[in-house]
Chains A and B, each alone.
Chain A
Amino acid sequence: MTTSTSPQEILLEIKNVNKNFGGLQAIDDVTLDLPAGVITTLVGPNGAGKTTLFNLITGHLIPSSGTIHWLGKPLKGFQPWQVARLGIARTFQDLRLYSQMTVEENVMTVTERSSWLWQGGRQAAEQRVTEILTETQLLDKRHERAVDLAYAERKFLSLARIMASEAKLWLLDEPASGLDPRSFDRFVTLLRDYAKRGITICIIEHNLDIVIKLSDRVAFLDQGKLLAQGSSEDILKDPHLAAIYFGERA
């Protein structure tokens, strides 16, 4: 296995994690660290276990064995909402926007951690929502329902929500898939910008362009196993991994 070491603080530590669904081993003894400020991309063919790994981190699934530590503390027994409040947020492949709510409400509700009527820092939250909508170029759509947006705008709304979460770690599930080239460039610029501001990002992506343009590090999964991790050049040049990725297994 190709490995690279990093001197940065480890935010998330996945150790010997397994996940079985009956007889199916979806995640097979995966050990992976996510260092602070590093953009890690998870690549691999369909069914490699990438989204399952996200679900295990966020508490949507419970590991069959192994441990996941966040800032040195185990995440065992945490519900998804508790994991979110610790500073881990994610997007979904199918976006899961709040479809009947307006663009502004979609973002505003993420800034509101509690559901109490009286929220502190209301003005600051409104200002932050405006900033985020400006950054994602959704400000003129703020009063439109999410369901009425065009596809690229929905993708940016999904990104706007995670921007509003103030999470330290973003888990992005195929965030740029289906974007036109201009939107894609805008998307990559935004992610780079947030990474520079100290956000740690882990992306599941099939688009090799985004893997090359964004990743500091690539982790390659296949059939639930972590086969390799390292720089994007190292991983993408490996003929064995390329054969697996493009479905040309021996």
Chain B
Amino acid sequence: MIAYLQNIAVLFCINAILALTLNFIMGYAGIFSLAHAIFFGVGAYATAYIAMHASDSLLLCMAASAAISAILSMALALPALRVRGEYFVAASLGLQVIGVTIFSEWKSITGGLGGMIGIPRPKLWGYTFNDDTAFLMLALVVLGIVVGITALLVRGSFGRSLMAIRDSESAAQTYGKHVNAVKTLSVAVAAGLAGVAGSLYAFYISFINVESFVLETSILLMAMVIIGGTGTLFGPIVGAALLMSLPAALTYLPFLPPTELGSIQQIIYGLAMVLLMMFRPGGLVGGRSKEKSA
């Protein structure tokens, strides 16, 4: 039972990091990306490759994952950020499709559809995180660091620039904001931290394949952000906690047939989204109303 709860808690930490970082660009910068799972995947594959071929050092793998995800995101974001709103959503969807194809086809690096098996647990200053409790502590510390970085960024001048761009790009430009630079940097930060989540995931699961980084993952992360509250610091964490605990909670309801749990879960997600958009568009942590008519 404890092992089961520990497992959920570690996966919650990883998903909370992903939701936080997606919210960083979605809630604060107004960039709706459907490709967040790709940067999660890049981080996971980078860590898996390095850990299996070079070093299982936690810091090295995490730093490399963050850097590779961030650099890749910049290369991809620069052309994509030239388009706005729904066009960017479409562009990010294209990126998600391309990413999944690369993950499943670049066999020499990603192992193809079969994925990568036998990723070792990480080492930090000689200590190996073989114990699940220790790994949970590690995941909580990383989550705490990501919350700290996000809070520092969104509550300072960078966060205000992001929100200004989100609310009116033309006004932000008019008052001296280099919109493309700020947006590109925000995507790089979010992708880099998503890469860190990918690194944790690869180390924890010890087996990765493309299934974990598909469009459904990006949509689930978006649901976590929206349900928790876009543009709020703790909303995505609440959203992640809810959506991660829901499947577990459903298994404790004896009257539900186990074979239908997946479908019931999807219906509950959908209903929760619809009801929230109707009655609390700011999300559970956000305000009651997101926008008042001008």
Check if A and B associate.
yes
Q: Which residues of A contact B (CB under 8 A)?
A: 58, 60, 79-81, 84-85, 89-90, 92, 96-101, 105, 108-110, 112-117, 119, 147-148, 161, 165
- Interchain residue pairs A-B with the least CB separation, the first 10: A96-B171, A98-B167, A109-B160, A84-B176, A80-B173, A115-B161, A96-B168, A112-B157, A110-B175, A115-B158
Contacts of A99 in B (CB 8 A): 167-168, 291, 294
Take A105-B163, A112-B161 as given contacts and tell me if A117 and B156 are in contact as well, using a CB distance cutoff of 8 Å.
yes
**Main secondary structure on B side of the interface with A:** helix
Residues 172-196 of B contacting A (Cβ, < 8 Å): 172-179, 181-182, 185
What residues of B have a CB within 8 angstroms of the CB of A109 in the complex?
157, 160-161, 163-164, 175, 177
User: Is B123 part of the contact surface with A, judged by Cβ < 8 Å?
Assistant: no
Instruction: Tell me if B170 counts as interface (CB < 8 A to partner A).
Output: yes
Q: Does B231 reach chain A (CB closer than 8 Å)?
A: yes
B residues 240-294 with Cβ under 8 Å of A? 290-292, 294
B152 and chain A: residue at smallest CB distance: A117
**B158:A100 contact, CB within 8 angstroms:** no
Give bound CA distance, A43 to B255, whole Å: 74
Given A92-B171, A108-B160, 19 new contacts (CB under 8 A): A60-B170, A79-B178, A80-B170, A84-B176, A89-B174, A89-B175, A90-B174, A92-B170, A98-B167, A100-B163, A100-B231, A101-B167, A110-B175, A110-B176, A112-B161, A117-B153, A119-B157, A147-B292, A161-B171
Query: What bracket does the count of chain B residues touching chain A fall in?
Result: 20 to 34
If the complex has contacts A101-B167, A117-B153, A117-B156, are A80 and B174 also in contact, measured as CB distance less than 8 A? yes
Contact B294 A147 (CB under 8 A): yes
Cβ-neighbour of B157 out of A96, A117, A161 (below 8 A): A117
Known interface pairs A112-B160, A115-B161, A147-B291; A85-B167 also in contact (CB < 8 Å): no
CA distance A89 to B161 in the complex (A): 17
Contact residues in B for A85 (Cβ distance below 8 Å): 176
A37 to chain B minimum Cβ distance, whole angstroms, is: 22
Are A84 and B174 in contact, CB atoms less than 8 angstroms apart? yes
Contacts of B167 in A (CB 8 A): 97-101
The interface bits of chain B over 148-162 (1 if a CB of A lies within 8 angstroms of the residue's CB, else 0) are 000011001110110
- Of all chain B residues, the one with the shortest Cβ separation from A98 is B167
The answer to whether B168 and A79 touch across the interface, beta carbons within 8 angstroms, is no
**A167–B294 Cα gap in the complex (Å)?**
28
Q: How far is the CA of A119 from the CA of B157 in the complex (A)?
A: 8
Nearest-CB distance from B252 to chain A (Å)?
Answer: 39
Say yes or no: B171 contacts A115, CB within 8 Å. Answer: no
A124: min CB distance to chain B, Å: 14
Tell me, rounded to whole Å, the shortest Cβ–Cβ distance linking A229 to chain B: 25
- Knowing A98-B168, A99-B167, A101-B167, say if A81 contacts B173 (CB, 8 Å): yes
Closest B residue by C-beta to A100: B167
Contact partners of A108 in chain B: CB under 8 A: 160
Give the Cβ gap from B191 to chain A, nearest Cβ, in Å: 18
How far apart sit A148 and B293, CA to CA, in the bound complex (Å)? Answer: 9
Please, which residue of chain A has its CB at the minimum distance from the CB of B293?
A: A147
- Residues of B contacting A81 in the complex (Cβ-Cβ under 8 angstroms): 173-174, 176-179
Q: Are B163 and A101 in contact, CB atoms less than 8 angstroms apart? A: yes
Q: Given A108-B160, A147-B292, A98–B171 Cβ distance below 8 Å?
A: yes
Query: Could you give 17 example pairs across A and B, Cβ below 8 Å?
Result: A80-B174, A81-B174, A81-B178, A89-B174, A92-B170, A92-B171, A92-B174, A97-B167, A98-B172, A100-B163, A101-B160, A101-B167, A112-B161, A117-B152, A117-B157, A119-B157, A147-B294
